[in-house]
Every structure is written in structure tokens, then in C-alpha cells.
A and B are shown apart, each in its own frame.
Chain A
């Protein structure tokens, strides 16, 4: 199972929006509405930000939103804040008891 494809980096100034893509295939992202997104600060454990494509867990700011079209999912962070600077990973169910993560995107707040 190949990793989902994410851009290595993305950036924006405080208050701006940034969108990260996550491209898979019809066997994973395109085949199921089970895409999740994780935020990871250096030296810390990942934190769930979005589940089931667009659901935001309790406590996650509504600046974070998710969507999916075909084989590509996306995470948008609106109104960027300094604390949003982190690595972001997507993940998808890939059928037959299998899961796959994305390659990761480093978000920089300029």
C-alpha cells in the first residue's frame, strides 16, 4: 500500500488561509469517506483534527475544515495562527483491514 501524496510544504501569513491536498486512489481516499487529518508539533504525538472527511472533534477550532473530491481530500486552515505551524498528515481506510497515511506537509506561518 503506497502512502497518500501530500505537498511537502505550505505556508501563509497570520490570518490567511492554507489548503493541503491529500491524493490517493479509488482504493483508499476515493473509495471511502474515512479520511482523517492529524497535526503534529515537533517532538509531540499526533493530534486528531478531522475525522470522516469533514468532522471536527470536540475542542478543535472551527478554523480547521476538511473536504473530499474524487481521490483527493483536503484540509483548510483559515485565519492562520502561529500555533498552527506544524506537520499535518492525512490518513485513509484502504480496505481489507488496511490503513494508510499521507507523506506529510509542513505548514509554516510566515
Chain B
């Protein structure tokens, strides 16, 4: 059974940093592209970024709204995906989901972790 479990959310002050984790199971992690998607309270989904798989050297890509502030990484030995978020702004407040990418679709999602940026 495929499972994705996020953690690391919480309350952080503007300008602060936070690292989210996503532990996966039920599939070969190194074979898969992985994405982060966020959803501000009461709002729609927003693509944050993605990392490719082992065959394509784990390259990353980001939405313009987070480029230069957020970094996606992965640890194959821990079956874990990470989202390092720096210089956080109030508009980064959202539920953050990790998701597995299969071709151009996200076929499995985690339950999400809430990040609140507030003073």
C-alpha cells in the first residue's frame, strides 16, 4: 500500500525557516518524481515544486513564488522527501502536501501538514 506521511509543520515568525518532511512507503522511492503542493486556508491548490528521480539526477524545479527561498531534497536511505523553507512570509501560510508524480499527474498524496507564518 502506497503511503505518504508529512510532518514538520507549525507556527513560525515571518522571516523564519522550517523544514517539512514526507516519509513514503509502498513503492520504490528512487524511481519516482515527487512534488510539493500547498493550499492556503479556504483557497485553491498551488504547485510549489518537484524533484525528479534517480535516472534524471534528482533535478528540482520551483514555482516563481517560492524560487530562491524553498529547496526540495530527498534522502533515499530514509525514503524521505524534504521541503526547506526559508525567509517565510505570511502568504506562505498553508497546508503543504507531498505527492507522487506519475507522468504529468499526482497519483498519491499525503494528508498534509499545516504551516502558519505569523508574528
Contacts and interface: CB of A to CB of B under 8 A. Distances in A.
Interface residues of A, number: 26
Given A100-B47, A103-B44, A51 B97 contact: no
A45 B61 contact: no
Contacts, number: 64
Given A45-B111, A45-B112, A1 B63 contact: yes
Interface stretch (B18-26, B74-82, B102-110): B102-110
A47 B46 contact: no
Interface residues of B, number: 22
With most chain A CB atoms within 10 A of its CB, the pick from B63, B105, B111, B112 is: B105
Given A34-B104, A48-B106, A99 B112 contact: no
Interface string A29-46: 000101010101000011
A32 B44 contact: no
A51 B103 contact: yes
Nearest to A103: B44
A24 interface: no
B92 to A, nearest CB: 17
